[in-house]
A and B are shown apart, each in its own frame.
Chain A
Amino acid sequence: MSKEWPLWEVFIRSKTGLDHKHVGSLHAADAQMAIENARDVYTRRMEGVSIWVVESRYIHASNPDDAEALYDPANDKAYRHPTFYNLPDELKYM
C-alpha cells in the first residue's frame, strides 16, 4: 500500500469566469486539506474564487488512440449545427 497521500486534480473558477478550469494537481490527505492546499497553491495571486477538487483516480479520460473513431465522424455532418437550416421568416422567435 502506498504511503503517499492521494493525488487530487484542482479546478478553479476565476472572479469573472463561469466555469471551473483545470489548473493543476496536488497531494493531500483528505478533501479538506486538498481544498486548503489548492487555496494556498493556486489562488495566491487572486486567480480564483471557487475551488473544486477531485481525487485523480475518479477522473476517467478518453484514450487518444481512439481519437479517430470518436471524433472524426462528427467533422462532416454539417446538418447537426443549428445554422445549417434556413428558417422561414414566419418563425420569428426560434
Chain B
Amino acid sequence: MKQHLLHYVLQLADNALILGHRISEWCGHGPVLEQDIAITNAALDHIGQARNFYQYAAEIYNQLPGPERQHLFVAPLFAAKKNVTEDDLAYLRDAWDFKNVLLVEQQNTDWAFTVARSFLYDSFAVVQYEHMQSCKDETIAAIAQKALKEATYHRKWSSEWVIRLGDGTEESKEKIQYALDNLWPYTAELFIPSPADEVMQTEGIGVDLTAVRKEWLAYVSAVLEEATLLMPETGWAQQGGKTGTHSEHLGYILAELQFMQRAYPGMEW
C-alpha cells in the first residue's frame, strides 16, 4: 500500500514539476513584460507545489523497508542511499521513473498552445485539489489546501486567455482552436486511473476521477462556449505517462532540468 501511496504522490509531484519547468521556459521570452512575469510567477507556484509533494514522497520512500525499496527506481543510488531527499527525486530519476501525465510535457510551441495546455490542466487541478480537501491523508490534504488557492488563480488566468484568443481576431481564434484540437488527445489520461490511483481511491486518499472528469468537462465546455470555440472531438487517447511511458519530450526536459546536479553532484547555490 505504501508503494502505491508513493507512486500516487509522485504523480502529483511530477505533474507540478514538469509543467512548472515547461512554463518557466517562457522566462525572458514572454510576448509582453507583464505576461512574462505572470507566467513565471505561475511556474514558481507549480514548482512550490512540486517541492511539497517531493518532500512527502521522500519521507514515504525512506520509511519503506530495504527490500521494498530495491526496484522502485532504476538508478541504484536510490536503494543504496539512507536518506533520499526531494532533490534526489527531482534531479536523479530517469524519464521512465517519472509519473507525470503526457499533457504537461508537450512543447510550449506558441502562446496559444501554452495557454491551452495550462487551461486544460488548471481546470483539472482546481477540481482535483477541491476533492483532495477531504483526503484521508492529512499531508496531501494540507498541500492541496494551499495549492488550491494558486490553482484557482492559474485557472482564471488561462481561461481568460482562451476567451480572449477565441473571441478575438480571425487569426487568434484559428491558433487557439488548433492548439486545443492538438492537445485534446492528452486530456483523457488525466482521468484514466493508474493502479496507484485505483488503490488510493479505495483507501479514501485518492479522488474519484469519474466525478472529477464530470466537473472538469462542464467547466471546460462553458469556457469554450464563451470563447466561441468548438469542443474538440474525442478520439484516440494518448496515455502512459502515469506508469512511466513518456513522449520523446521528457528526455529533453530532464536533460536540461537535471544537467547541473548530474554534472556537479551535490552542488548548492
Q: Does A32 have its Cβ within 8 Å of any Cβ on chain B? A: yes
Residue of B nearest to A32 (CB): B160
Q: Does A54 have its Cβ within 8 Å of any Cβ on chain B? A: no
CB contact between A40 and one of B41, B160, B164 (< 8 Å): that residue = B41
In the complex, are the beta carbons of B34 and A26 less than 8 A apart?
yes
In the complex, are the beta carbons of A41 and B34 less than 8 A apart?
yes
Would you give the 0/1 interface string for A13-50, flagging 1 where the beta carbon is closer than 8 Å to chain B? Answer: 00000000000001111001100110111001000000
CB contact between A44 and one of B41, B157, B160 (< 8 Å): that residue = B41
Q: How far is the CA of A33 from the CA of B41 in the complex (A)?
A: 15
Residue of B nearest to A36 (CB): B157
Question: Chain B contact residues: over half helix, strand or loop, or mixed?
Answer: helix
Expressed in whole angstroms, the minimum distance between the Cβ of A78 and any Cβ of chain B is 48
Q: Which residues of the partner chain B approach A33 to less than 8 Å between Cβ atoms?
A: 160, 164
Q: Which residues of the partner chain A approach B32 to less than 8 Å between Cβ atoms?
A: 5, 27
Q: Which residues of the partner chain B approach A32 to less than 8 Å between Cβ atoms?
A: 160
CB contact between B37 and one of A5, A27, A28, A40 (< 8 Å): that residue = A40
Would you give the 0/1 interface string for B24-55, flagging 1 where the beta carbon is closer than 8 Å to chain A? Answer: 00000000111101100100000000000000
Q: How far is the CA of A17 from the CA of B81 in the complex (A)?
A: 51
Q: Does B156 have its Cβ within 8 Å of any Cβ on chain A? A: yes
Q: Which residues of the partner chain A approach B33 to less than 8 Å between Cβ atoms?
A: 26-27
Q: Which residues of the partner chain A approach B34 to less than 8 Å between Cβ atoms?
A: 26-28, 37, 40-41
Q: Which residues of the partner chain B approach A41 to less than 8 Å between Cβ atoms?
A: 34, 37
Residue of B nearest to A29 (CB): B164
Q: Which residues of the partner chain B approach A37 to less than 8 Å between Cβ atoms?
A: 34-35, 37-38
Expressed in whole angstroms, the minimum distance between the Cβ of A38 and any Cβ of chain B is 9
Q: How far is the CA of A41 from the CA of B34 in the complex (A)?
A: 7
Residue of A nearest to B40 (CB): A40
Residue of B nearest to A30 (CB): B164
Q: How far is the CA of A40 from the CA of B41 in the complex (A)?
A: 7
Expressed in whole angstroms, the minimum distance between the Cβ of A48 and any Cβ of chain B is 15
Q: Which residues of the partner chain B approach A29 to less than 8 Å between Cβ atoms?
A: 164
Q: How far is the CA of A36 from the CA of B156 in the complex (A)?
A: 9
Expressed in whole angstroms, the minimum distance between the Cβ of A79 and any Cβ of chain B is 50
Q: Which residues of the partner chain A approach B153 to less than 8 Å between Cβ atoms?
A: 39
Q: How far is the CA of A39 from the CA of B45 in the complex (A)?
A: 14
Residue of A nearest to B157 (CB): A36
Expressed in whole angstroms, the minimum distance between the Cβ of B53 and any Cβ of chain A is 23
Q: How far is the CA of A36 from the CA of B153 in the complex (A)?
A: 9
Binding site for A on B (CB under 8 A): 32-35, 37-38, 41, 153, 156-157, 160, 164
Closest 10 CB pairs of A and B: A37-B34, A40-B38, A40-B37, A40-B41, A26-B34, A41-B37, A41-B34, A32-B160, A36-B157, A27-B32
Would you give 5 A-B contacts (Cβ < 8 Å), ordered by A? A28-B34, A29-B164, A36-B156, A36-B157, A39-B153
Known: A33-B164, A40-B37, A40-B38. 19 other contacts (CB 8 A): A5-B32, A26-B33, A26-B34, A27-B32, A27-B33, A27-B34, A28-B34, A29-B164, A32-B160, A33-B160, A36-B38, A36-B160, A37-B34, A37-B35, A37-B37, A39-B153, A40-B34, A41-B37, A44-B41
